[in-house]
């Protein structure tokens, strides 16, 4: 179950930061989910938060920075060097990395990109930065598992194994032709139940719903809700597979959409702070 974070716990962390007791802080946070550590960081000031983040594994730190409130993050990252930002961005999924970079000044953004170790990630990020933030392209991540229509289950599983490191949640596998055009989808359940030598052509579902990269984010929400999708693949005008949007990435859009509807209904059109 989710943890209850008490005032006493926060005070103990603050005192440990005061006396630079890294071992105490690490053992206190050891069993916590990144989202719970984020809740702790919200209670601390910027230098305290930075001290704690520096102690954590970079993988945990990058997950925290991916999930944190964008406004808080933007302020927080002002106290980071470009090298420090790059260390975390290197480990983020491409859509989160782009969100972080879009919040930075152009100079910082360029510096961070030039410092990325992971060349494939850097290329993905540069590609994603071209899309409007409120478009399907702006919401998508490049990380996904795709397999060729002419493969068999065995190759498909090898591809999942190869991609397992970079794709956090697989969900399903997209099927493309030799020109990288999206032609279908394959659920993991079907894959688990199939034999190694079964051709993908016999297994895949050609009835795959996709969305073009230029479409508005609100349209992404409508399509995902209407067809009850946990993820939707994004294609270009030629049907080439570009990326994928998962439902957790559009929850913010759903909330904004509901709020806008309410504002229109009640006649409130000025910006309101939450």
Binding site for its own copies (CB under 8 A): 1-2, 33, 35, 67, 157, 160-161, 164, 169-171, 187-189, 191-193, 207, 209-211, 223, 225-228, 230, 246-248, 251, 254-259, 261-263, 265-266, 268, 272, 274
How far is residue 8 CA from its own chain's centroid? Answer: 33
According to DSSP H, which parts of 1-145 are helical? 7-18, 22-29, 34-43, 46-55, 58-67, 70-77, 82-89, 94-102, 106-115, 119-128, 136-139
Q: Smallest distance, Å, CB 124 to its own copies?
A: 20
Cα angle 75-76-79, degrees, rounded to a multiple of 5 = 100
Given the complex with its own copies, which of 123 and 193 has the nearer CB atom?
A: 193
Closest separation in Å from C-beta 12 to its own copies:
23
Residue 71 or residue 259: which is nearer to its own copies going by CB?
A: 259
In angstroms, the Cα distances linking 6 to 46, 68, 137, 195, 235 are: 20, 20, 41, 52, 46
Comparison of 108 and 235: residue with beta carbon closer to its own copies: 235
Shorter beta-carbon distance to its own copies: residue 112 or 194 = 194
> How far apart are CB 251 and its own copies at their closest, in Å?
6
Smallest distance from the beta carbon of 131 to its own copies, in angstroms? 19
Report the residue number, 1 or 106, with the smaller CB distance to its own copies: 1
Give the tokens for residue 103. Answer: 């919040």
Element (H, E) at 147: strand 146-148
């Amino acid at each position: 179950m989710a943890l209850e974070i008490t005032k006493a716990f926060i005070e103990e962390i603050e005192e440990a930061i005061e006396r630079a007791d890294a071992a105490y802080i690490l053992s206190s946070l050891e069993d916590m989910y990144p989202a719970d550590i984020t809740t702790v960081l919200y209670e601390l000031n910027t230098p305290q938060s930075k001290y704690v983040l520096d102690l954590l594994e970079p993988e945990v730190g990058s997950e925290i920075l991916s999930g944190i409130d964008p406004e808080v993050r933007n302020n927080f990252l002002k106290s980071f060097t470009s090298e420090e930002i790059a260390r975390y961005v290197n480990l983020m999924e491409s859509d989160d990395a782009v969100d972080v970079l879009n919040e930075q000044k152009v100079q910082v953004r360029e510096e961070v990109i030039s410092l990325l170790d992971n060349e494939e990630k850097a290329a993905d990020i540069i590609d994603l930065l071209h899309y409007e933030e409120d478009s399907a392209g702006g919401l998508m991540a490049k990380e996904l598992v795709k397999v060729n229509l002419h493969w068999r289950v065995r190759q498909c599983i090898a591809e999942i194994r190869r991609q397992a490191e970079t794709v956090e949640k697989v969900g399903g596998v997209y099927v493309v032709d030799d020109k990288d055009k999206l032609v279908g989808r394959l659920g993991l359940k079907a894959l688990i139940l199939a034999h190694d030598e079964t051709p993908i052509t016999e297994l895949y579902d050609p009835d795959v719903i996709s969305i073009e990269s230029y479409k508005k984010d609100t349209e992404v929400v409508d399509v995902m809700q209407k067809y009850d999708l946990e993820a939707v693949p994004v294609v270009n005008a030629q049907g080439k597979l570009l990326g994928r949007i998962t439902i957790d990435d559009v929850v913010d859009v759903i909330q904004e959409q509901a709020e806008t509807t309410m504002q229109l209904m009640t006649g409130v059109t000025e910006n309101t702070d939450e």
